Amino acid sequence: MEYQGTKAIIQRAKAVDDPSLDSLAKSILERSYREPGDVVGLMHTDSQDTKQKASAVALKLGNLVLPMLLDSLPVGKPNDLIWELQQALTLQNASRAKITKILLDLLKDQRELEPDNPFASAEDRAPVRRVCDEAYLLLRRLQVVNETDNQLYLNENAFMKMSMPERDAEIKRWQGERTWIPLYEQEAKAR
C-alpha cells in the first residue's frame, strides 16, 4: 500500500466519519505512544541507573508521557508510585495553569461567535454568544469541581439567559471576587 501523508488523508476524507480518519488516528496514537511508553517501561525496571535516566527523559517529554504514566503506575512499589503521581500532578497542574491564563485573557474578548444555526427563526435562535461568555463558562467548568452535571447545565443556562450587560457584570464580579456563585438559584429568586 502506498504511503499517504496525514494531510493528504484528512483532505481526501469524505466526511468526519470516514473510516480512513479512524485508521489515521489509530496509527498516529500508536506511533505517538510507542516511544514514550518505552520510556515509562524503562522507569519500571530494577536497574536504578536505567530508572533514573528514563525518569529524566520522561520529565522532559512533559504531557506527551502523561497517559502512559497513568496507565502503568507501579502500585507494587509505593515510593515509585507516589513519585510518578507527583509528576503526573505537576504536568496536569501546568496544563491547567496554561488553560486558565488563556481563558482569563479571553474574558476581555467581546467578539461574537457565529450562531450554531444561522437559519433558525428568531424565537428558536440561541442567545448571542461571545468569546468572553464562553471563556467564563469554561473557567467555571475548569475550577468548580463540586458541581454536578445538572448544576453545571443550570448555571450555564442561567448565565446565557442574562442580557449582555448582565453577563458583563457577572464576569466583572467574578474577576473581582474570584468566587463562583450558583447562578440558577439567583435566577429562581428573580422570578
Give the pLDDT of residue 122: 65
Dist CA 157 CA 171 (whole Å): 15
Contact 108, 133 (CB under 8 A): no
What are the contacts of 102-105 at 24+ separation with CB within 8 A? 103/135, 103/138, 103/139, 103/142, 104/135, 104/139
Q: Which residues of the chain have pLDDT under 70?
A: 1-3, 118, 120-122, 124, 187-191
The model's pLDDT over 72-121, given as tens digits with 9 standing for 90+, comes to: 999 999 999 999 999 999 999 999 999 999 999 999 999 999 887 767 66
Dist CA 165 CA 151 (whole Å): 23
Mean pLDDT, the chain, integer: 90
Percent of the chain with pLDDT over 90: 68
Give the pLDDT of residue 187: 66
Give the pLDDT of residue 154: 94
Model-level pTM? 0.79
Give the pLDDT of residue 1: 38
